[in-house]
């Protein structure tokens, strides 16, 4: 009798054990080529008046909100249990230390390798300052520094939990890809006899494509929409003092209102040399958001191509060399520069020279490549990277290619080789605000391309 009862209990345990399988194990129930997807989002709007990121001319913290800020996640898993999580956010950018902490903790909790977590930001200039970000742009008092540190720590915990929520939401899905177009992006590097200025350049390089991933349930209901655009998220200029996702936030609202129950995620492209035009009015931010949302809607209603097959990912670092920095004497001369930000930069560099006797000579640049199936490639490039990189990669990588900037680390502008003789903000001036010793060397484009193409080959060979 006791043996029979034991056998019954054992059978009961075996029957119900599959209910306890984790996400990685469940993927193996899919047929080859099939995918599962999960979605999640969390409000990350600061509850206190933190300093706003992006514009050095601001002189006070935020004053309320135009709209909530969000972090959102899309998890994808193939039939072998290989997983990818794409995190998008209404932030200026994830600094390297924050991204590393999030990835390390999510790796421990959910068994994800670094290559399986892509952290992207919309680059809104109406979001909060994070720890270790744009240190040269803000004059912060001790209480603001402490509040920013506390917010950053909470944000890291929220993103880790968000990744877990998206993995917990995994369900069989149909994923498809298409590309639309929106018109408000324009090159902002205008070449004049006095050098490059930040002004509309209708004849300049631009990428107005709108890549879209549609995530549907098996029954055909749209559960998620991942979309992108390569344009500075700066319709709202420095005089605006309320939290907002800018045009990217309004576009996400537009898509979610059109498709109730769906999660819309914005993935910023390589638009560091591109601005939205016209700009500087709230109604223009909503206008651009509606245009972008409408462009996405057109793609969703068109015939899109299926994305299916195995998920493969690679992540690596390449060292980008800085040009030889100014001498101690040159930094000393900058202490009397009429621009206060030049003065502050010079003081920080002199302090570092006094402490270590040297400045950093290169920067560890992260690159991430994801392949789904045989011909869909997503490339995540770090920093404020310019349009030339995306256009070149879309020419040189075979198949359907989506290139995102502002991924995994936002630490400086990343100009292309052709820009160095021209100079301008992206090449020189911006490095003061990003607290770097000086400009990069022109060779960085080839270094980034060489490493990216090696990762493309790595995920293609698996």
Q: Tell me what the pLDDT averaged over the chain comes to.
A: 93
User: Confidence class of residue 136 from pLDDT cuts 50, 70 and 90?
Assistant: confident
The pLDDT of residue 218 is 94
Dihedral sign computed on CA atoms, order 147, 149, 153, 158: positive
ω before 278 within 30° of 0 (cis)? yes
Radius of gyration of the chain (CA): 23
Number of helical H runs and strand E runs in the chain: 11, 19
Specify the length of the chain in residues.
Answer: 462
Q: Average pLDDT in the 192-197 region?
A: 95
Which one, of 238, 236, 231, lies nearest residue 272 by Cα? 231
Model pLDDT, residue 131: 95
pLDDT in tens, 313-347: 999 999 999 999 999 999 999 999 999 999 999 99
Task: Give the Cβ contact number of residue 396 at 10 Å.
Answer: 12
Grade residue 462 by pLDDT with cuts at 50, 70 and 90. low
Classify burial at 26, counting beta carbons within 10 Å of its beta carbon; exposed 0-12, middle 13-18, buried 19 or more. Answer: middle
Across the range 274-292, mean pLDDT stands at: 98
Report the pLDDT value the prediction gives residue 240, as an integer from 0 to 100.
97
């Amino acid at each position: 009798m006791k043996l029979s009862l034991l056998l019954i209990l054992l059978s009961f345990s075996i029957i119900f054990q599959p209910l306890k399988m984790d996400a990685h194990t469940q993927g193996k129930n899919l047929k080859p080529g099939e995918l599962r997807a999960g979605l999640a989002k969390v409000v990350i709007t600061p509850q206190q008046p933190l300093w706003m990121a992006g514009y050095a001319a601001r002189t006070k913290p935020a004053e309320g909100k135009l709209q909530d800020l969000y972090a959102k996640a899309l998890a994808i898993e193939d039939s072998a249990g290989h997983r990818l999580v794409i995190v998008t956010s209404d932030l200026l950018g994830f600094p390297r230390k924050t991204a590393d902490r999030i990835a390390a903790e999510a790796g421990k909790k959910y068994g994800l390798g670094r290559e399986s977590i892509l952290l992207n930001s919309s680059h809104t200039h109406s979001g909060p300052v994070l720890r270790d970000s744009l240190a040269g742009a803000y004059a912060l008092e001790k209480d603001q520094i402490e509040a920013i540190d506390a917010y950053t720590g909470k944000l890291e915990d929220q993103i880790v939990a968000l990744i877990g929520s998206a993995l917990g939401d995994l369900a069989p899905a149909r994923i498809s890809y298409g590309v639309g177009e929106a018109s408000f992006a324009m090159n902002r590097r205008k070449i004049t006899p006095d050098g490059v200025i930040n002004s509309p350049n209708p004849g300049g390089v631009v990428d107005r494509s709108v890549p879209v991933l549609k995530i549907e349930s098996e029954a055909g209901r749209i559960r998620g929409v991942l979309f992108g655009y390569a344009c500075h998220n700066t319709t709202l200029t420095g005089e605006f003092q309320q939290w907002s996702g800018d045009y990217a936030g309004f576009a996400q609202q537009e898509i979610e209102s059109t498709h109730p129950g769906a999660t819309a995620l914005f993935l910023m492209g390589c638009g560091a040399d591109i601005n939205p035009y016209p700009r500087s009015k709230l109604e223009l931010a909503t206008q651009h958001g509606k245009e972008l949302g409408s462009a996405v809607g057109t793609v969703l209603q068109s015939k899109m191509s299926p994305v299916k097959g195995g998920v493969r990912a690679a992540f690596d670092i390449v060292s980008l060399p800085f040009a030889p920095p100014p001498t101690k004497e040159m930094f000393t001369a900058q202490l009397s520069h009429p621009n206060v930000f030049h003065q502050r930069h010079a003081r920080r560099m002199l302090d570092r020279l006094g402490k270590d006797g040297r400045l950093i000579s290169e920067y560890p640049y992260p690159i991430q490549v994801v392949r789904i199936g045989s011909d869909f490639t997503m490339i995540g490039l770090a920093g404020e990277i310019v349009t030339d990189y995306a256009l070149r990669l879309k020419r040189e990588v075979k198949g359907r290619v989506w290139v995102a900037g502002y991924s995994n680390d936002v630490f400086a502008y990343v100009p292309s080789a052709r820009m160095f003789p021209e100079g301008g903000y992206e090449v020189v001036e911006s490095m003061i605000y990003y607290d770097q010793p000086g400009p990069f060397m022109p060779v960085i484009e080839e270094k980034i391309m060489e490493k990216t193409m090696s990762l493309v080959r790595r995920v293609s060979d698996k």
